[in-house]
Amino acid sequence: MGSNEVLVITGMSGAGKSTVSHALEDLGWYVVDNLPPSMIANLCEMAAKTPSSIAVVIDVRGGEFFDDLTKSLADLAERNIARRILFVDASDEALVRRFEATRRPHPLQGPDRILDGIAKERTRLQDVRSAADFVIDSSSLNIHQLEAKIGEIFSSASDSDLRVNILSFGYKYGIPVDADLVMDCRFIANPHWIPDLRPLTGLDKPVSDNVLASANVQDFLNKYQSLFETMATGFIHEGRKYLTLAIGCTGGKHRSVAISEELSKRFANLNPVDGKMISAQAIHRDLGREV
């Protein structure tokens, strides 16, 4: 991103917006915290000559200012200032735990419970979340992991035009809230029921070979790769830089891990799309949680 663009950072209170802003500052960004949305366009015009990328943090602490966000985003478009929205999210359980640990009330809690404040905030933010270019789920991330994730997305060191995270997960632990696409691979025979394979994971060759040799799997992989290539073209034309594909099985140990690893290899070897480069990596959210 350049100085004629702005990244709007918003999301749930307690999800990690401050950590995100600090990580961007470490990458050389100019970050303004809790700026009234009506001033975003003016800030961008004032900073037009600076080489730094610009980010602003907007949250419900802004009170009535936050309600101006939609209007302010439209104003950016009228002034030909490009914008992206980064939404930082976390599960209700994680947010409650964090507020209880700090002994601070939720900004919208009032006389009610923390969960009531969280529910009000989710309702208030649902339109902004739907419009977000990036959604990050910080539920299972510590500060250092969240900073690393920001580095992965926004580091200028990457030569890729579309960076794809292929995230394996277990349905028993919930669908990742930051997934752009979700694929269910529970149609594949489960290695869990093979005694010799049960203690292994999808990273082990015997499990991977078993999964990839299962009925219909190669056909599935070929068709999904073809589908992804078509979608990648559209995503690149729409200016998307980062994409999360979530691949799920029951526990996130065998099938989803093996499939994610195979897809990451296939996607990393794709030919450039209209001259644009694609990079891919497999990340395994729930590996190690299932005994």
pLDDT of res. 157: 43
DSSP state of 190: P
| pLDDT tens-place string over residues 98-113 | 999 988 888 888 888 9
Instruction: Output the CATH code of domain 5-154.
Output: 3.40.50.300
Of 73-82, 116-125, 173-182, the poorest mean pLDDT is in 73-82
pLDDT of res. 132: 87
pLDDT of res. 273: 63
pLDDT of res. 192: 94
* Four-point Cα dihedral 151, 238, 129, 87, nearest 10: 10
**Given a cut of 80, is residue 269 above it in pLDDT?**
no
**Given a cut of 80, is residue 51 above it in pLDDT?**
no
Confidence of residue 2 (pLDDT cuts 50, 70, 90): very low
**Given a cut of 60, is residue 64 above it in pLDDT?**
no
Q: What are phi and psi of 98, to 5 degrees?
A: -70, -40
pLDDT of res. 72: 80
Which residue has 């610009």 as its token pair?
54
| pLDDT tens-place string over residues 213-230 | 999 999 999 999 999 888
Where in the chain are the domains?
Answer: 5-154, 162-284
Q: Which of 187, 254, 251 is nearest to 221 (CA)?
A: 187
How far is residue 31's CA from residue 124's CA, in Å, rounded to a whole number?
Answer: 24
